[in-house]
């Protein structure tokens, strides 16, 4: 395939160039201004559209796709822990194979229509643990996206639930596919015993897969850790062999700067989720203290362009002088994180890079070159401009329509299933 008349834009460093792209075997084969179609090659004139590497969501919860509009708890939650107990832990306990599958489809559909090509999902469904990651992977793959999945191990659902969660992570770690990878999942320190953390540490060592965990999202996580151990959260992770190169620390709002330096030295990643942090009123993550940082939506939705804009505005509100470039770098961080896991040069539009692309029909009223790219990213571009999305050289979205799934039918089925999910959720005690 030859994509011509493109405005190519990459984030790290910011670069805009008018050129053509030749795609072969799922990769970018050539890039240049004078390429012409070969015999048998499909040629698409994009009419000056903006083409960027597909976006990477570094932390999400796909099951949240069926939470939108659901009834709130009978008694309003007064703290972050009560939000977990009265909302999210009831929701995940009510999930069954059908709603796990449909939430994966619905969440991946929204992500694709928003220009995202790769999802890092942190999954929990205590009534359906064994086999849940395979179901989720199948749903995401049916839409056409890549995924990095894990199951959230916790002690809050008893010994059997913990055992099954560990087994599910272990089983999925042995079944990597071309389009998916695995991490070892854990909920948060406040729901994990020392014994469980030691077992997770052994699993990380045995599989070679890093941990993906909520870390210091709220002060309650930090306070619980100090009560249990007399030390900080990262010290606890380190003691159990869970702070290794590639560890994903979601949120990190209440990590100290010393802890962030320790995590950075260990090769960990911090995933910033500003809209979720604001929604849960847990505070502002000190992303300026971390170089290996990426952006996630934490299940709020699939819109990373909205997320990066809020990340920028929160940085400005906090007085960060480098907010402009720092927000853009968080978005680019997802590409670097993905590259470290898949071994592919995500975030590039050069020969050899995967043909994971987002095409935007964006006609700005002002110049758009390398110097102006970040300004357009933060103040102009949004998911309404996404016209086509490609993963591995194959269209997932083309002319604003899903290619691989019947989106209206999927979403109609999801709406019916969501009502049943909400009824089961409201019937649960505790």
Report the length, in residues, of the chain.
430
- Compute the distance between CA of residue 155 and CA of residue 191 in angstroms, rounded to an integer: 6
C-alpha atoms less than 13 angstroms from C-alpha of 79 in its C-beta half-sphere? 7
Q: What is the pLDDT of residue 232?
A: 94
Among 67-71, 74-78, 282-286, 294-298, name the most confident range: 294-298
22-44 pLDDT per residue, tens: 999 999 999 999 899 999 899 99
- Compute the distance between CA of residue 412 and CA of residue 416 in angstroms, rounded to an integer: 7
Q: Evaluate whether 320 touches 288 at the Cβ level (below 8 Å).
A: yes
Q: What is the mean pLDDT of residues 364-372?
A: 97
Q: Evaluate whether 335 touches 11 at the Cβ level (below 8 Å).
A: yes
Q: Evaluate whether 299 touches 64 at the Cβ level (below 8 Å).
A: yes
83-122 pLDDT per residue, tens: 999 999 999 999 999 999 999 999 999 999 999 999 999 9
Angle made by CA atoms 233, 237, 241, in degrees to the nearest 5: 165
Angle made by CA atoms 127, 200, 300, in degrees to the nearest 5: 55
Q: What is the mean pLDDT of residues 390-397?
A: 98
The whole model's pTM is what? 0.97
Q: What is the pLDDT of residue 130?
A: 97
In 3D space, the residue among 121, 135, 42 whose CA is nearest the CA of residue 394 turns out to be 42
- CB burial of 98-119 (b: ≥16 within 10 Å; e: otherwise) equals ebbbbbbbbbbbbbbbbbbbbb
Q: Evaluate whether 293 touches 269 at the Cβ level (below 8 Å).
A: yes
3-class secondary-structure state, position 394: strand
203-224 pLDDT per residue, tens: 999 999 999 999 999 999 999 9
Residue 340 clears pLDDT 80, i.e. is over it: yes
Would you call the peptide bond into 124 cis, given omega within 30 degrees of 0 as the criterion? no
What are residue 40's phi and psi, to 5 degrees? 80, 5
What are residue 270's phi and psi, to 5 degrees? -105, 130
Q: What is the mean pLDDT of residues 399-413?
A: 98
Q: What is the pLDDT of residue 291?
A: 83
Angle made by CA atoms 61, 62, 67, in degrees to the nearest 5: 90
76 pLDDT band (50/70/90 cuts)? confident
Residue 347 clears pLDDT 90, i.e. is over it: yes
**Rg (the chain; Cα; Å):** 21
Q: What is the pLDDT of residue 258?
A: 92
DSSP 8-class letter at 209 = P
- Compute the distance between CA of residue 385 and CA of residue 427 in angstroms, rounded to an integer: 41
Annotate 13-49 with DSSP letters as a single string.
Answer: TEEEEEEEEEEETTEEEEEETT--PPTT--EEEEEEE
430 pLDDT band (50/70/90 cuts)? low
Any bridge partners for residue 53, and if so which? 357
In 3D space, the residue among 327, 302, 300, 301 whose CA is nearest the CA of residue 313 turns out to be 327
Q: Evaluate whether 142 touches 135 at the Cβ level (below 8 Å).
A: no
What's the mean pLDDT when you consider all of the chain?
96
Tokens 């087994």 sit on residue? 167
Q: What is the mean pLDDT of residues 405-412?
A: 98
In 3D space, the residue among 68, 90, 89 whose CA is nearest the CA of residue 427 turns out to be 90
Q: What is the pLDDT of residue 276?
A: 97
Q: What is the pLDDT of residue 178?
A: 85
What are residue 349's phi and psi, to 5 degrees? -125, 45
Residue 429 clears pLDDT 80, i.e. is over it: no
């Amino acid at each position: 395939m030859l994509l011509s008349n493109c405005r190519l834009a990459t984030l790290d460093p910011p670069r805009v160039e008018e050129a053509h792209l030749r795609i072969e075997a799922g990769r970018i084969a050539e890039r240049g201004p004078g390429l012409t179609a070969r015999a048998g090659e499909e040629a698409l004139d994009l009419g000056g559209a903006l083409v960027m590497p597909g976006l990477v969501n570094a932390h999400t919860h796909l099951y949240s796709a069926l939470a939108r509009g659901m009834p709130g708890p009978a008694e309003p939650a007064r703290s972050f822990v009560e939000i977990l107990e009265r909302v999210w832990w009831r929701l995940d306990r009510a999930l069954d194979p059908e709603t796990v599958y449909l939430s994966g489809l619905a969440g991946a559909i929204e992500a694709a229509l928003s220009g995202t090509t790769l999802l890092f999902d942190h999954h929990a469904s205590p009534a359906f643990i064994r086999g849940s990651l395979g179901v989720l992977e199948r749903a995401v793959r049916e839409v056409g996206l890549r995924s990095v999945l894990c199951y959230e191990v916790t002690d809050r659902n008893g010994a059997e639930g913990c055992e099954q969660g560990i087994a599910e992570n272990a089983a999925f770690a042995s079944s990597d596919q071309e389009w998916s990878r695995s991490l070892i999942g854990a909920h948060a320190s406040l729901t994990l015993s020392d014994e469980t953390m030691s077992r997770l540490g052994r699993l990380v060592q045995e599989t070679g897969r890093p941990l993906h965990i909520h870390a210091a999202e709220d002060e309650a996580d930090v306070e619980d850790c100090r009560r249990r151990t007399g030390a900080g959260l990262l010290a606890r992770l380190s003691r159990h062999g869970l702070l290794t190169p590639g560890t994903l620390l979601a949120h990190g709002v209440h990590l100290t700067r010393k802890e962030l330096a320790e995590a950075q030295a260990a090769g960990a990643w911090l995933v910033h989720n500003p809209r979720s942090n604001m929604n849960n009123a847990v505070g502002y993550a000190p992303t300026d203290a971390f170089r290996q940082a990426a952006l996630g939506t934490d299940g709020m939705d699939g819109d990373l362009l909205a997320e990066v804009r809020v990340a920028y505005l929160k940085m400005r509100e906090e007085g960060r002088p480098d907010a402009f470039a720092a927000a853009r770098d968080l978005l680019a961080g997802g590409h670097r994180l993905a590259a470290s896991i898949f071994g592919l040069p995500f975030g590039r539009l050069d020969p050899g890079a995967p043909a994971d692309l987002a095409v935007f029909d964006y006609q700005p009223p002002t110049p758009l070159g390398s110097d102006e790219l970040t300004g357009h990213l933060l103040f102009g571009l949004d998911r309404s401009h996404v016209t086509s999305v490609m993963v591995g050289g194959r269209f997932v979205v083309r002319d604003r329509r899903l290619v691989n799934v019947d989106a209206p039918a999927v979403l109609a089925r999801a709406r019916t299933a969501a009502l049943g999910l909400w009824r089961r959720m409201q019937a649960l005690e505790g």
